Structure 1
């Protein structure tokens, strides 16, 4: 691939990327193009046989960071709108605190919408794949011209249109030519980054920094201007309308002294000003906090119109900014910059790409179509974006108690836990591939409990939003431990989980009634209990099972027995007359007017979808549903639609509760149907294009499902490490485990249209079991699949071959 002259350096532009793709009804196939092989002169072309694992070292060349930034065609409408993947294409390092990239005026969660034609700035922090506005702090905006009016009141003057043909992104890099004539490029380390701004000659080279421009609103902000520095802070939060809050800081050094400078506050511009601030104001008429800090003209209260920031101009047409951020102080942001930001822009970009190649090299696949390689490595890239490093280079961080703490030497504190999502697929993958980092994530959650009195549910920075339901910390801890991330205080984690499961708290609202009735009554409401009684009860069941597993794995058998019994409470919400889980009142009566397609009493779903969400006791559920024959027929009907949305009685593979469901066929004597439905979902719902995700990526959750499924396996049971099998997409794959061992997958006849397993050998021994024992994730081994385009309905169909289920009186290995 040739170098793209306008933006410089080797990378894959969107224009050339899309030119190489031909969209087909079954997904995306690559036309005659070597582009997905990676950087020109450095990477083997997969089409010539080397593939990703056969000699290519530049796995980052397969990644398209724009995947997920557009709404997928024909995706369902949810809460009145279609959902994009909500990913962000900015420059970021693995688990990076800083993500420097574009924020479009017509934004969507993640900050960037592929469909939006205008960019308002390039902010330093982003959440990739979330469902609500968040972070987006300190947008920088290059502007060729004089700053004559306040950006707070005339934001449209300083925004710029742009074209995707003039835009480029790759791991650790983002660049774009704006229609206003300026060019912006960014690269990143974990806590710092470098921005390069190029202006048209003959124009005033201005740069604006809107310190009040955080995505969800800013309750307070300030900025200071030095000779060649900018610094400031912002207080934001308000994730999904919650009352969470965080404070973030930045320090920026430029490669030249400023020519001129100034600030703005509200509708006033102060040329030569060196400081500006703004904060929320209390309304004179009521108790509503009226924000006055948003340049976009909105706030959490919806009435603020003012903001603040600074602008500078440069002597020449090119300027570079080196920026550090911190959630502790401006001084810490400066120290982070000094600790991490070294060398030229080109050298930093090269190091970022090398870091990503090392991270992506945890899994090397061979023998797939170029489009599938792009989808796979983009998904793996998304898995390594979150949670985020939160501690500074010296180990200090602001805790949930608002105080400064310090991590153990050589360890990091992490933040941004999308618990309800990531426990279903992503945490297991991280624990297996990156146990050191994942152990630090687990210890971070333990620290959060010690400082704030509760484990994260959906935490942003150092505060809890209470978004979504259940107690996801339980499966997260148990899965991390089961898959090999064990360097954390497991006793403290288990004690915290037991406390949250037995005493009144805000993470498990209604816990007293849950223990009394065995479910949350549909005719009662609780503080912070915004969602359906059935879904929340089922999430508590899964959490209790996970507590039992963590207790069992760490030798606390008494706790294990107690929570094993509580996990079986799911049976109290299964109505044998309707054959579905169903809302139930405090007097034991079932909620009237039941409709299995109705979202009433459910969280982002319905009874038809949630009835399958008993992942730890599949055999018990199948028996309640009438046995394997009845289950197979019901699953067949369920999967006539793959992505139906929340108000139809079919699968919704674009949302978390349903992503394990295709693997249920393996328990019902029909693993060939698992192989078929998983492959359909992979090829029909995932592509390497902007609209290539079937729903919110949710901090890597949906991407992790694809990675697992492309390898031909999935961690079906929260809290345990057994892997239920489908079939591999690639002819060969090597998974580098954190233990230093490997999982090798060989399938010489693998192809998109050959999903069916006709034979399997595990470490050389013939196997008819469509699952792998928990030990395999630790010890590794070799899998040899015989695949074909036609199913073998007998392989793995014997009841004795079914994956283990952990219901009443079941035995744990």
Structure 2
């Protein structure tokens, strides 16, 4: 699939039909359709928000796995791997899937053929391994590559540990280089120790998106073949036989995006007889080296590579088979299951097998005990809040409410130990403060709305209120910049995006309070969730930046980016999802709003400098479903079908923007199933044409869903009518009870949008106005 530049695409009332079904298949084992390389190559233009690729990684990982063992290329990428590059500098054990900034990539291991010459810190470029994609393979839980030097590397993982198998050319000894200072953003301190046939160490690192906070990560590795020679390098000095050393290294990247050889670094080299493959069994921990050792013993033990690989594939099969779709061609199935795979990568389990974890306060804590007969709870880490509250959090809460409950508890635990300080984008057990808004409140409220309520919701609500009402800094962090003005005025001066993000966060607090029976808190935050109304300029018909004195600029260009984050005025205008009816009324009614939406969707991925949709980035993800409030759900179906086809694919360039820890992938999963959760903090599902004739969904809590559209094909892409659990409905949305209880959707499809489906004003979805 070639790079797509989506410009000048006009949206007529009825678009040309896009093929829906060709050579339909029965899925069976859904894991065989996953392509972990999806998103590793540029699939769209770089609009300056992390590039035009998904920034995913192709390596071995278990569902929600702490150990994410994957190759890292010389060219920088958020996930560590740039498909366009053919140079590997190591196979590191920690990654982030889909961010626009680099982070993690701790403890890269590089196998080479031959003995070490000069220090890798000085001559790192001399040890880089080139490869061809023809000699590379990836499946869920498994990765393999044979480099041009003839060394084959295979990787597989459990949740907290992994096994690497290295096969060397027999003409020379095989050597492993393990760079303890190799984290992508450098390390402040590190240590590595060789003890017989084991190697262990730790690194103090961090720096995601320039954050000053640091985390400490540990590993413990054993080998099934004798180490015939070993030693340590530190900076430009090689010390054979040395067993322990400490060191540090600054950032490893140059301005060009390539790895830097700056003469600094610390690591170990291990030499082996190349007559037989070498298996490296490794455990990770964020608590201690002993924790890494226990994780390895509990999850891997004496298992060989192939056994661990089968276990990993089985774990993925069980997770992916929660959603079984039929009636799509190979490409559509591959795109769908590759997206679902990426949904289940992060957040990831952060506690050790004994339930211990390091919290945001740097102290060791214990995961709460599970109820008798229930699975163990886990502490989760790495939350891209600004992204995941729009699609990913909802999908996890729907499919895996046990996981989403633990995520909500983890977010609350993080805030609680810091004195009720809520982050926006957390990496490992550290605050980064990346992006804007206050999104964790929406994530927690959404989890509860979807029935993921096995967490301390009362404690979380109290903490959320404290965080949202705080003015200024606490624990070295400001949760809501300009919160004094936001609370005094109702808006953030000069900032539309900040105002709208705080509004959505406040709506989440209001919804959780309402569900917990706290009417006073619910009403207070529902009022503040309407601060966007202060930004509507009736002279222009747009939400605009407004000064503290109450003035709008005399001239306004909706394609301008001042006052917006990764978007513009035309894109943020629609982000009042808690009260779309209120926005439409200010705009002059449903017909005028629909006309503006038609213009907006003239382009689907226009970037931040054009007044059209930007569906390769987060702020406009929900906008296709706003037609439901205008009584025109057929136009939603048009836009969603176009986006599924034009912006997603089953190949490495199958994403046009950063996946952002599963956000874009979750959007595609929802879009393909024919349902979408538009309102953050709520569990209503909006309906549109599915991509498959049938889907069977099973929640981890046991509820089951069937979505059936047997007539769906090229000639019948539009919804004519819908039955919900056997009862006819004319509404293009489903009440919250459906997402919670399970049930069946039966679509009748046709060549034109149904004239009575979702068109009456009485069929409009709910809007939540200012309480009286």
Pick aligned residue for 1:411 from 367, 372, 377: 377
Structure 1 residue 611 corresponds to structure 2 residue 545: no
What's 2:281 paired with? Answer: 322
What's 2:663 paired with? Answer: 701
What's 1:51 paired with? Answer: 26
Q: Quote the Cα distance in structure 2 between the aligned partners of 1:199 and 1:134.
A: 30
Pick aligned residue for 2:313 from 348, 353, 372: 353
What's 1:64 paired with? Answer: 35
Q: 1:635 to 1:185 in 2, by over 3 A?
A: same
Structure 1 residue 396 corresponds to structure 2 residue 368: no
- Deviations along 1:624-658, one digit per CA (max 9) or x if unpaired, are 11111111111111111000001110000001111
Structure 1 residue 772 corresponds to structure 2 residue 726: no
Aligned partner of residue 565 in structure 2, secondary structure: coil
What's 1:690 paired with? Answer: 652
What's 1:337 paired with? Answer: 296
Q: Quote the Cα distance in structure 2 between the aligned partners of 1:667 and 1:630.
A: 12
**Equivalent runs, 1:622-661 vs 2, <5 Å:** 622-661=584-623
Q: 1:81 to 1:94 in 2, by over 3 A?
A: closer
**Equivalent runs, 1:283-294 vs 2, <5 Å:** 291=250, 294=252
Q: Quote the Cα distance in structure 2 between the aligned partners of 1:657 and 1:80.
A: 12
Q: Quote the Cα distance in structure 2 between the aligned partners of 1:162 and 1:337.
A: 30
Pick aligned residue for 1:267 from 231, 236, 243: 236
Across the aligned residues of Structure 1 and Structure 2, the Cα RMSD in angstroms comes to 2.1
What's 1:516 paired with? Answer: 488
Aligned partner of residue 641 in structure 2, secondary structure: helix
What's 2:13 paired with? Answer: none
Answer whether contact 2:41 2:84 (CA < 8 A) is retained. yes
Shift of 1:297: 11
**Equivalent runs, 1:684-763 vs 2, <5 Å:** 684-751=646-713, 754-763=716-725
Structure 1 residue 172 corresponds to structure 2 residue 141: yes
Q: 1:161 to 1:425 in 2, by over 3 A?
A: same
What's 1:591 paired with? Answer: 553
- Deviations along 1:50-109, one digit per CA (max 9) or x if unpaired, are 512xxx1x211010000000111xx23322874210011110001110101100011211
- Deviations along 1:329-365, one digit per CA (max 9) or x if unpaired, are 1111011000101422111111101000111111111
What's 2:340 paired with? Answer: 380
Structure 1 residue 257 corresponds to structure 2 residue 226: yes
What's 1:558 paired with? Answer: 520
Shift of 1:219: 1.5
- Deviations along 1:501-538, one digit per CA (max 9) or x if unpaired, are 1112411111111001111112xxxxxxxxxx210110
Shift of 1:809: 4.5
- Deviations along 1:738-778, one digit per CA (max 9) or x if unpaired, are 43121110100223664310111111111111000000001
Answer whether contact 2:23 2:329 (CA < 8 A) is retained. no
Answer whether contact 2:79 2:99 (CA < 8 A) is retained. yes
Shift of 1:408: 1.8
Answer whether contact 2:580 2:629 (CA < 8 A) is retained. yes
TM superposition score normalised by structure 1: 0.89
Q: Which structure 1 residue ranges, 5 or more long, are not aligned?
A: 1-20, 27-45, 281-290, 523-532
Structure 1 residue 493 corresponds to structure 2 residue 453: no
What's 2:423 paired with? Answer: 456
Answer whether contact 2:122 2:261 (CA < 8 A) is retained. no
What's 1:182 paired with? Answer: 151
Q: Quote the Cα distance in structure 2 between the aligned partners of 1:70 and 1:225.
A: 38
Answer whether contact 2:122 2:262 (CA < 8 A) is retained. no
Structure 1 residue 371 corresponds to structure 2 residue 331: yes
Q: Quote the Cα distance in structure 1 between the aligned partners of 2:687 and 2:318.
A: 27
Shift of 1:584: 1.1
**Equivalent runs, 1:465-484 vs 2, <5 Å:** 465-484=432-451
Q: Quote the Cα distance in structure 2 between the aligned partners of 1:476 and 1:353.
A: 29
What's 2:53 paired with? Answer: 84
What's 2:116 paired with? Answer: 147
Q: 1:158 to 1:785 in 2, by over 3 A?
A: same
Answer whether contact 2:236 2:263 (CA < 8 A) is retained. no
Aligned partner of residue 252 in structure 1, secondary structure: strand
User: How many correspondences in the alignment?
Assistant: 743
**Equivalent runs, 1:23-62 vs 2, <5 Å:** 51-52=26-27, 56=28, 58-62=29-33
Structure 1 residue 445 corresponds to structure 2 residue 411: yes
Answer whether contact 2:684 2:733 (CA < 8 A) is retained. yes
Shift of 1:435: 1.0
Q: Quote the Cα distance in structure 2 between the aligned partners of 1:326 and 1:752.
A: 51
Moved more, 77-86 or 602-611: 77-86
- Deviations along 1:474-509, one digit per CA (max 9) or x if unpaired, are 110110001111000001110111011111241111
Q: Quote the Cα distance in structure 1 between the aligned partners of 2:459 and 2:143.
A: 41
Shift of 1:614: 0.4
TM superposition score normalised by structure 2: 0.93
**Equivalent runs, 1:83-232 vs 2, <5 Å:** 83-232=52-201
Moved more, 612-621 or 778-787: 778-787
Q: 1:268 to 1:753 in 2, by over 3 A?
A: farther
Shift of 1:667: 1.0
Q: 1:332 to 1:572 in 2, by over 3 A?
A: same
Aligned partner of residue 78 in structure 1, secondary structure: coil
- Deviations along 1:684-742, one digit per CA (max 9) or x if unpaired, are 11100101012100000000011111110110001000011111111111111243121
Answer whether contact 2:360 2:417 (CA < 8 A) is retained. yes
Q: 1:752 to 1:111 in 2, by over 3 A?
A: farther
Q: Quote the Cα distance in structure 1 between the aligned partners of 2:136 and 2:437.
A: 40
Answer whether contact 1:261 1:272 (CA < 8 A) is retained. yes
Aligned partner of residue 640 in structure 1, secondary structure: coil
Answer whether contact 1:672 1:793 (CA < 8 A) is retained. no
What's 2:389 paired with? Answer: 423
Q: Quote the Cα distance in structure 1 between the aligned partners of 2:680 and 2:4.
A: 36
